[in-house]
């Protein structure tokens, strides 16, 4: 045992000893202990990004805390499973910090576990070298992750790059930003569990938060990664505003047969942080799991699950 093990065990013990409603009221009480400015900032943030539930202080709506309490209480054994299956203590510290933030609004540990040494998604301690990669960027936005990949590994590190993005204006900007690179394929399609159609839901805040929706004005074709890319894939980065689980279902063949390195966003829904690694584990039991954190100190976003084939 060490400090992280001990403190994680203490969190789990607290969750197990409480009923769901007790946990909810504890979270709510702790929320009102933080500065009023921070309370209002979180309220404003959750109104802009509605992934996790609603918060309206004056209206008495604390649904987001109810959802978090439900996730922790109902799935406590799943959180334990994830902790036990994380490969390094940096990952375990990230998980501990996220749960501690959810329960106690612990900003200090969330800040301490933030990744500062390496680029977002590309941790050189986990994946130190790249050669002849077939890199699939799902939610490629303006090509920023591809540029980070090149910065980390060099122009000669890949064979092919596939960029999936649902917003036409964004993918056109990506083509401009990546114009000097060869063998980059731009695909304006959504990835899901099966082929079909969906609609574009534009974010009022930033195009990076654009999502698919069941209705809208602009149709978007849906494909699967297994259908769209036939060659062997060695690396997949995926950040698609809550659509990750569905897209992973459509990549099952590649995950099972190719064992690509995976860098998957696991923060858009309360249970993503354990559901996504469990889903990947059920597809391919040959992975080591890591968590890295690139978000801010107040509320945990930008949490990435990295899956690397066992040595």
Nearest partner of 267 among 290, 241, 229, 287, judged by Cα:
241
Helix spans in the chain (H):
3-17, 20-31, 36-48, 63-74, 76-85, 89-104, 107-112, 144-153, 168-177, 225-228, 244-249, 252-258, 272-283
CA distance 287 to 237: 15
Residue 244 has what pLDDT? Answer: 97
**What is the pTM (predicted TM-score) of this model?**
0.94
In a domain, 31, yes or no: yes
Pair 138, 259 in one domain: yes
Length of the chain, in residues = 311
Pair 138, 225 in one domain: yes
Q: In what order do the strands lie in the sheet containing 196-201?
A: 190-191, 219-223, 196-201, 211-213
Q: In what order do the strands lie in the sheet containing 261-265?
A: 184-187, 158-164, 133-138, 235-238, 261-265, 303-309, 287-293
In a domain, 124, yes or no: no
Pair 151, 223 in one domain: yes
Sign of the four-CA dihedral 139, 143, 146, 151: negative
Q: For strands 133-138 and 158-164, give the pairing.
A: parallel
Pair 141, 246 in one domain: yes
Give per-residue pLDDT as tens, 55-113: 999 999 999 999 999 999 999 999 999 999 999 999 999 999 999 999 999 999 999 99
The secondary structure of 87-138 as a DSSP string is SSHHHHHHHHHHHHHHHH--HHHHHHTB--SSBTTB-TTTS----SEEEEEE
Asked if residues 299 and 45 have their Cβ atoms less than 8 Å apart, the reply is yes
Q: For strands 211-213 and 184-187, give the pairing.
A: unpaired
CA distance 39 to 110: 17
Pair 84, 55 in one domain: yes
Written as six digits, the tokens of 235 are 């690396």
Pair 149, 253 in one domain: yes
In a domain, 289, yes or no: no
- Among 55, 79, 112, the domain-final residue is 112
Helix (H, G, I), strand (E, B) or coil at 304: strand
CA distance 268 to 300: 10
In a domain, 148, yes or no: yes
Pair 258, 139 in one domain: yes
Written as six digits, the tokens of 36 are 């009023």
Residue 215 has what pLDDT? Answer: 74
Asked if residues 101 and 41 have their Cβ atoms less than 8 Å apart, the reply is no
Mean pLDDT by groups of 10 residues along the chain of 311 residues: 96 98 98 98 94 96 98 98 98 98 98 95 97 97 97 97 93 96 96 90 63 75 96 97 95 98 97 98 98 97 97 86
Residue 219 has what pLDDT? Answer: 86
In a domain, 32, yes or no: yes
Pair 140, 108 in one domain: no
CA distance 304 to 239: 9
Residue 205 has what pLDDT? Answer: 63
Pair 141, 211 in one domain: yes
In a domain, 287, yes or no: no
Pair 24, 104 in one domain: yes
Query: Number of folded domains in the chain?
Result: 2
Residue 159: CATH number of its domain: 3.40.50.150
Pair 155, 245 in one domain: yes
In a domain, 273, yes or no: no
Q: CA 127 → CA 192, 234, 262, distances in Å?
A: 27, 12, 11
Pair 143, 261 in one domain: yes
- Domain span at 224: 133-265
Residue 208 has what pLDDT? Answer: 60
Q: For strands 287-293 and 235-238, give the pairing.
A: unpaired
Residue 50 has what pLDDT? Answer: 86
In a domain, 238, yes or no: yes
The secondary structure of 237-260 as a DSSP string is EE--TT-HHHHHHTTHHHHHHH--
């Amino acid at each position: 045992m060490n400090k992280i093990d001990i403190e994680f065990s203490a969190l789990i013990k607290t969750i197990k000893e409480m009923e769901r409603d007790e946990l909810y009221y504890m979270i709510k009480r702790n929320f009102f202990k933080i500065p009023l400015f921070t309370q209002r900032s979180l309220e404003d943030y959750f109104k802009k990004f509605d992934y996790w539930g609603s918060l309206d202080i004056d209206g008495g709506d604390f649904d987001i805390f109810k959802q978090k309490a439900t996730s922790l209480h109902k799935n406590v054994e799943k959180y334990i499973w994830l902790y036990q299956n994380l490969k390094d203590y940096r990952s375990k510290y990230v998980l501990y910090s996220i749960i501690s933030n959810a329960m106690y609004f612990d900003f200090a540990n969330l800040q301490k576990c933030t990744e500062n040494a390496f680029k977002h998604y590309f941790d050189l301690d986990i994946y130190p070298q790249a050669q002849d990669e077939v890199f699939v960027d799902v939610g490629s936005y303006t090509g920023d992750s591809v540029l980070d990949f090149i910065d980390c590994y060099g122009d000669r590190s890949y064979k092919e790059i596939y960029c999936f993005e649902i917003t036409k204006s964004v993918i056109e900007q990506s083509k401009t930003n990546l114009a000097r690179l060869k063998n980059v394929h731009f695909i304006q399609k959504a990835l899901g569990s099966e082929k079909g159609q969906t609609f574009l839901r534009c974010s009022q805040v930033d195009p990076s938060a654009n999502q698919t929706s069941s209705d809208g004005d602009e149709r978007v074709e849906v494909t699967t990664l297994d259908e769209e890319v036939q060659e062997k894939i060695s690396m997949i980065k995926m950040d698609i505003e809550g659509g990750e689980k569905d897209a992973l279902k459509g990549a099952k063949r590649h995950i099972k047969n190719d064992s690509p390195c995976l860098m998957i966003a696991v923060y858009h829904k309360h249970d993503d942080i354990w559901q996504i690694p469990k889903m990947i584990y059920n597809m391919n039991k040959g992975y080591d799991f890591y968590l890295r954190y690139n978000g801010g100190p107040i509320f945990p976003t930008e949490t990435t699950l990295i899956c690397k084939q066992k040595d």
